[in-house]
Amino acid sequence: MPEFTLFGTEGCHLCEEASLLIAEAGIDFKSAEIMDNQEWLDKYSLSIPVLRHIGSGQELAWPFDTQRLQAFNTPHLV
Domain boundaries, the chain: 4-77
Q: What is the pLDDT of residue 78?
A: 44
Spacing of C-alpha 41 from chain mean position? 14
Strand partners, 31: 6
Tens-place pLDDT, residues 11-48 = 999 999 999 999 999 999 999 999 999 999 999 999 99
Per DSSP, the residues of 33-55 read EGGG-HHHHHHHTTT--EEEETT
Residue 64 has a pLDDT of 96
Rg (CA), the chain: 12
Residue 10 has pLDDT above 50, yes or no: yes
Residue 75 has a pLDDT of: 66
Task: Tell me what the pLDDT averaged over the chain comes to.
Answer: 93
**The overall pTM is greater than 0.85:** yes
Fold of domain 4-77: Glutaredoxin (3.40.30)
Grouping H, G, I as helix, E, B as strand and the rest as coil, residue 2 is coil
